[in-house]
Structures are given as C-alpha cells and as structure tokens.
Amino acid sequence: MSTILITGASAGIGAATARHFLAQGWTVGLLARSEDRLLALAEGQPRAHVLPADVTDEAQVAAAFARFAARAGRLDVLFNNAGMFGTQAPIDEIPVAEWRRIVEVNLTGMFLCAREAFAQMRRQTPMGGRIINNGSISAHVPREGSVAYTATKHAITGLTKSLSLDGRPFDIACGQIDIGNARTELLDGIIARSPDTPPPVMEVGEVASTVLHMAQLPLAANVQFMTLMATKMPYIGRG
C-alpha cells in the first residue's frame, strides 16, 4: 500500500488531491493548520491521518512527519503543496511584513517539508521516495501585482532542481507541477474581482489526477516538470 503526505490539505488543490488519493486506496497524511477542516476531510476514511501543523514551524513540521511515518510505516510521496498568494499590489504597496509572510509559507515552508521528507525517505527501508513540489504558472510568467508570490515560485523551481540532484544517491525523485487556473477558492477570488472578464479555468480534479500519475511512476522514471493549465489561458502567445 502506497503512502503520501499532502501539505495544504485542508482546501483547494490539496483537499481535492487528498480525496482522489484516498479514493485510489492510498494512505494519506493530511497536513495543514486547520484541524477542523482536516477532521471533516478524514471523516469515514480509515487511511486518512490528520496532521495539524504550521509549515513555517520547524518543530511542528518535524513532529507531523514523524507521526505519519510511525503510523503509516513509511513515506512514499510528499506533495509539497501548501502556499498562499498574498496581497495583490505593486511592489511599493507591499509591506515588508507581507513579503516575509509569503516567503515563510511558500518557500521556507516547502523547504522544511522537503527536508523532513528527504530525511525519512533516505533512512527508510527500502530507501527512496518521491517529492512533488507545487510550483505555478507564475514560476514562468507572473500575474500583475504578485511580486512576492512570483519570486517564491521561481525559487521553488531551484528547490526542485537541487532536490533532484541531491536525491539521486538515495533513490529520491523530485518533480514539479506548475498549475494554471485550477478552480479553487483562490481563483474564485480572482474571478470575483473581474466578473466581466473572468479567466479561463479548469476543474481542480484534473490536478489531482495528474499528481496521481506523477506519484505512481516507478522511481526509475520521473516527471521533472509538468505544466497543467486551462487550455485558453494566455500563457502561449504575444501581447
């Protein structure tokens, strides 16, 4: 039986992915700050393990990963998903405290979770596993007013590449999925701000099924970078 720990599992892409993996028979660790939402998601799911933790807190992250490994026996996959968009504004209107808040969640939080996953995968028997980082279309092309979010998502690409290299001796694969306009609460907020010109969207279930495809590959194969987006997004083309 395969095991996966999903961060940011209480809503959006994380929750949709958790439901899909549970439906496929995986043992799933649900990590997020909102314990109530995680408990609701895990209700009636004996293979779901609720792991309330703040991804920016080193001690909480370490304890959550240790609990899951002890319960599940091993960690096959980490879906490193937790993140936030933050305030949408030009750079001179972004308080430094807001910049630091977004960097803590989107970059430091993903580092801490990858660090714990790597350590567990390196020492378990049989050795190895897979880390899937949630990047973004913003890792390539940004939205307006997203300097902090965009900077962190570019950094995640570097994290993915470094983990891929460092994981080779230990059979730890690392890949990245860059998602564009999956219908979640975050995108609903963007749509609400532009009701006359809503962006093209895709269903969030498409993300969940794609993450499952990446996770099910044998460790001898890896999706290094995957771009999954709404077909009519203006990602390809010139202005």
Tokens of 73: 């026996």
Q: Which residues have CB under 8 Å from 91's CB, separation 6+? A: 147
Active site residue 149: yes
Total residues belonging to the chain = 239
Element (H, E) at 207: helix 204-216
H helices of 73-141, where?
A: 96-103, 109-123
Q: How many C-beta atoms lie closer than 10 Å to residue 212's C-beta? A: 18
Strand partners, 119: none
Residue from 53, 149, 160, 207 carrying the catalytic annotation? 149
8 A C-beta contact, residue 145 and residue 89: yes
- How far apart CA 43 and CA 139 sit, in angstroms, is 35
Angle 203-204-206 (CA atoms, 0-180°, nearest 5)?
Answer: 80
3-state secondary structure of 187: helix
3-state secondary structure of 218: coil
Tokens of 173: 């694969």
Residue closest to 56 by CA, chosen among 34, 38, 91, 82: 82
**The residue type at 88:** Q
Annotated catalytic sites, by residue? 149
